[in-house]
Amino acid sequence: MTDIKHAPPPLEPPPSYETAAQSPSRANGFLSKGLMNRAPLPLDLPALNAIRGKRVILASASPRRKQLLSQIGLSGLEIIPSPVPENLPKSLSPFEYVLQTATRKAMSVYAAQINNTELGEPALIIAADTVVVSSMGEILEKPRSEKEHIAMLKNLRDSGEHRVFTAVAAMAPLESAREPGYALETTVEETSVKFDRLTTDDLLLAYVKTREGADKAGGYGIQGIGAILVERIEGSFDNVVGLPLRGTLGVIEKVLNHGDDLEDEFAEVLDEDE
């Protein structure tokens, strides 16, 4: 179990505000030294500091989720997509559907990697699942054909607001022998999205032919060309992209702290027995 009580300090101190406020400028035809593509420093938080340099697995092949996690300083992720099929009954509520799917994804990768003798056990596993739910309550995942894709987007345009649900599951192994041997925390976030009803069929067809939305629940990417279809949202933007960052950071902190709390309780029980 990762110990967040003795987290390492950040790799470097933050720059002065004068330096941070400068934009890359040209001097004698060259960009000023040190100002080219300067990225923000990673968040200085105990939970994130504790897992830097350790095995952190993203149980998803989604480049969008990987990019979002890099924004909070989780770079160098190990990408191991879960083989669990997204085939739970659509009779489940959207909340339960994404929650159960994300949890199953995390647990399948955990089971496959916890006894990895070559790389060692992972410090953290993150899994997620996103679905779009029409105004009629139908759970929409990725379109399987161009015809289905066009019909899906027309339905979202014509039916008013739809909802996007994303569940995030975080798992971390425990050092103690206490069952079940891991800590698990989950969260589910919901965002309402409304397409512009004046969007023409020609625009929908043109968007479908870009294939941007072919690998996305609901058939569109709000972070890309698909933004042209959206009139407004209510809730988290990154939840619609596929990973609510605030909620994800929350479960990461909880699962690491939860593991420490369980181990402290276990140690107390052993002391009492002695």
The gap from C-alpha 122 to its chain's centroid, in whole angstroms, comes to 17
Tell how far CA 242 is from the center of its chain: 6
Cα angle vertex 237, ends 19, 22, to 5°? 10
- Residue 46 burial by Cβ neighbours in a 10 Å radius (0-12, 13-18, 19+): middle
Q: At what angle do helices 245-273 and 63-71 cross, to 10 degrees?
A: 70
* Three-state DSSP class for residue 265: helix
**Residue the block writes with tokens 């990768």:** 109
Q: What's the sign of the alpha-carbon dihedral 216, 222, 223, 225? A: positive
Name the phi and psi angles at 191, rounded to 5: -130, 135
- Residue 168 contacts residue 195 (beta carbons within 8 Å): no
Residue positions annotated with a catalytic role? 129
Decide if 114 contacts 121 (C-beta within 8 A).
Answer: yes
Nearest CA-CA partner of 234 in 198, 195, 194, 197: 194
CB atoms within 10 A of CB 226: 20
